[in-house]
Structures are given as C-alpha cells and as structure tokens.
Amino acid sequence: MKNLSTVSLIAIMMAGPLAANGAMIGPTPYLSSADSPFAGTPFSYFHREDFEDSLLNTPGVIASAGIVLSPAALTDSVDADDGSVDGSGTAGHTWYSNGGSSLTFTFSAVLLGVLPTHAGLVWTDVGFASVQDGFDTVTFEAFDAANNSLGFISPSAVGDGLFGGQTAEDRFFGVTSASGIASMRITSLSSTDWEIDHLQYGLASVPSGAVPEPGTLALLIAGVAGIRFLRRRM
C-alpha cells in the first residue's frame, strides 16, 4: 500500500461501479410523450412502445401477461396517440391486463447490450373492480439483475370512476437506477380489468469527461482519506 498515490487510489475506486438504489418516479399526469419525466434526458438507446402497430415489439423486453387492445369504445390509450390531445384515448391502442392483477416487464441485457437505467409505463384505465368500478389502487416496483428491489411506490389511488377512454386520470410510474433495471412490475389491488400504455426504457448516456456527482465524489474522498490513515498506521 505504501507505493499507491492518491490519484491511483481514486482510479482504482472508480474502476468498479458504486452500489446504487433506484429513484422512484410518480404517479404523475401523462397525456403525451412530452409529459414523460425522461424527456430531454440524453440516452445511448431509448425505446417507447405505444402499441400502435398492435404489437409489443420494441427490442429487449417481454411482458408476463396481457394483450394489445385495438381502438374501441372502452380502449384508453395515451391521449396524444390518436394525433391530438382531446381528452379521449378510444382511437389508440393499449396493453390490457387480460384477467391478471399484475404485469411484469423484463428487460434483456443480452438483446439490449446493457440493462436500461430508466424505465416506466403509463397506467391509463380500470374497468370492473372489486371495490368500485372505475377506481383502483396500484403499486409499482422495480428490480435489478439479481432480483433485488430497487424501490417501491406505495399503494396509489388511480381512476376517475369512468372507463370510456377518458385520459385525465392517466398516470406515469417509473424508476431510474445507475446499476441497471432488470424488470418492473405494476400490480392492481382491486381489479383484473385495466390498461397501461407508453412502456418506455433507455440507457442514459454519460457525457465524455463527466465529473462524478457530489455524493459520489464525497465517497471517493472519504475512502481515500481512510486508506491514507491506514497507511500511516502500517
């Protein structure tokens, strides 16, 4: 240890990633892609699945259950998907729970190259529910590659009592994590008749020469100080 300089120690410490918990986002109102909390973030890759081609076919993701709903009187797509923000989502497509209380979306590091650092979806509607039709309570959770929880959004009340394509109640749920997001799960606590839309995920790019965040830098400095103290004791 006596021959290691401070600069060398920092380089060694920065060679491996620091553990990072997820930052949970939402629920927040969402009428178009411009309302995404990820809008404006620089990405190395980014995919938004709006199901408008009647498929879930963006790369590197699979769903645990569900089907695509086509335009219909009870479909509740993200408002802007039909070309205008007009308070109605009946002219778009969504992903439907199809009798399930939970949907999990799992990302493939093999197909994507690297797991996403940002992921989210938009809850758009609920129909029949055990407590009261048109209202629901949902939870959202995300997991890393080792299936450790990155964070949890506690039960959140959603819905407006209507299920004819109204969009004012649409809400975004998401997560960010520098350590990578392997999956995310949204769960209904009172229904198996509900929809989501605008599944989205991406890998945030780090500008060349970026300086570590203040918290990370503080950890590095503290670590170096501790090592230098040990050197004095050796």
Instruction: Name the CATH topology of 21-209.
Output: Jelly Rolls (2.60.120)
Q: Can you read off the two tokens belonging to residue 141?
A: 């959770």
Q: Over the stretch 6-62, which tens digit does the pLDDT of each residue have?
A: 434 333 333 334 345 789 999 999 999 999 999 999 999 999 999 999 999 999 999
* pLDDT digits 0-9 by tens, 184-193: 999 999 999 9
Reduce the DSSP state of residue 104 to 3 states and report it: strand
213 pLDDT higher than 60: no
Q: What are the residue boundaries of the structural domains of the chain, listed by start?
A: 21-209
The set of residues, in sequence order, having a beta carbon less than 8 Å from that of 31 and lying 6+ positions away, is 78, 79, 80, 85, 167, 170
Q: Determine the Cα–Cα distance for residues 119 and 132; give it in Å rounded to an integer.
A: 30
Our measurement of the distance from residue 195's CA atom to the centroid of its chain's CA atoms, rounded to an integer in Å, reads 16
pTM: 0.81
> Which comes out higher in pLDDT, residue 220 or 32?
32
CA pair distance 19, 154, nearest whole angstrom:
23
> Which two three-digit tokens encode residue 68?
């695509």
